[in-house]
Structure 1
Amino acid sequence: MTAEWGKAINRGLHAVQRPQMPTGDLELPHWTGLLARGADRLGPEDDPFDVSVPLTEEESEFVAAALEDVVGQESLERVEEGELQTLGLPRLWPARFTRLVMAYDRRFPRGGGKLFVSAMREVRFYLYEPDLAARVRSLVAQAFGEDTSVVVGHSLGSVIAYDLLRTGQIPQESVGRVRTLVTCGSPLAIPSVRRGLGLMDGEPLKLPGGITWVNVFDPGDFITGGRGLESWSPGIADEQVHNGVADPHKALIYLRSEPLARAIADAVR
């Protein structure tokens, strides 16, 4: 994964005519294995958030709230007027939950609703399992060094990176060298996610002084709800990209984007 990320970032740097990132300059803490509830890897057959795994009551409440944050009442009302359809969706889901996913799919076609549900289950696991979250933060914090200047976080990784930086859980000698946080495909625009971090509604997203925050997002990205982060803090600079229709949330597509490359190059020059 480190090699793939490095190749994608260098492709973006080449596109904006900036120097390539040397081999070894990228440190990628592999925290996802911790989400497998004790397994040493997280393959398709180990995924505790797969659509085939029944949701707990707590998961249903969190994911439904996140869906409501994104789809809006008007979209939900339009779906509720029609016939309930379960094609491709688990029949054990409650009717309102299924309608929320249907409303989401109207906005993000090609199965975005199911992917959103899976992603939000993973996000909830981090937000509301404190022992797990502490282990994840500890692992990621160890990747910071005195020469760390840029932090890049994709999807849930953006939540973890923000959580670490805002709560001061990285040694000062390491975080003091960080110039830029780059988030991409971030679900931090969703109020339910921010509440899970202990932020009040309307409370801005803040970082320690001196750190520039660039957020790269695709309006068609089903995990972000198509939203950027500028409206949640005047200090965040949104950069809009178009990642195509196949998988607009894919990390490697974000990583090779020109806005992300410029943010990294500006921080290390």
Structure 2
Amino acid sequence: MTYEGVLTKMQTEFANPIQYYLVFENSFLNVNQLLNKDLEINFLGYQCLNCGKKKKIFRQGFCYDCFYSSPAVGDWIMKPELSTAHLGIQDRDLVYEEKVQLQPHIVYLALSSEVKVGVTRKTQMPTRWIDQGATQAISIVEVPNRFLAGITEVALKNHYADKTNWRKMLQNNVEQVDLIAERLKVENLIPSEVQEFFYSQKNELYEMHFPVLQYPTKIKSLSLDKTPNFQGKLTGIKGQYLIFEDGTVFNVRSSEGYVVNINV
């Protein structure tokens, strides 16, 4: 059977194990059902997720022009501490920025390779942790806007990583750390203006179980620009990666905006 369309990040369902779906304009595919089966990925072209034009993808599924004009990819996305909507100051589009920035945000600790600190909108729990391939995660604070979450993350970057080691994550080389105990250590490390939002009693620990039959020992990253046609047996899904029997891994999210057909 053939599925064709524009790649976007896999949609997920928090279950045991995590359920993954590739969603196209006229069809969708439960990727878990492809485990231990051969599949073929063929690169057909590009389509910008913002303007819809068949232009080469620059970053995050956007063409060059849209990446530098759309409010959905402003610098404050990757650096929440640069958020200014709470001050009424526009970056690219204040209406959009107020909608996204002025809502509850979570600062969290997660285990994807080592302990990392991160920021997500409350509505993105636990999706954000699933996308990072985290096996466990716990909230530190819930704040009313993205700026406060950003300055909290900056303060904690001096003590924790803020990026996932994707190779360790895919090899399941994850540190064993008590996140509940770790969370209690950060109370005195967060900014004074965020202290009132610290979760002093809430100890809810999320655990993610990924559908992986076999973790790779050596990793080869698949780029559709370099290898437009690929075929292999799917042995796992973790984060936003497809893992194949020969150690090839394919990052679906980094290939957003690529038009493909998938034969299963």
TM-score above 0.5: no
More strand by share: 2
Provide TM-score, normalisation by structure 2: 0.22
Greater RCO between the two (CA within 8 Å, min separation 6)? Answer: 2
Whose helix proportion is higher, 1 or 2?
Answer: 1
TM-score, scaled to structure 1 = 0.22
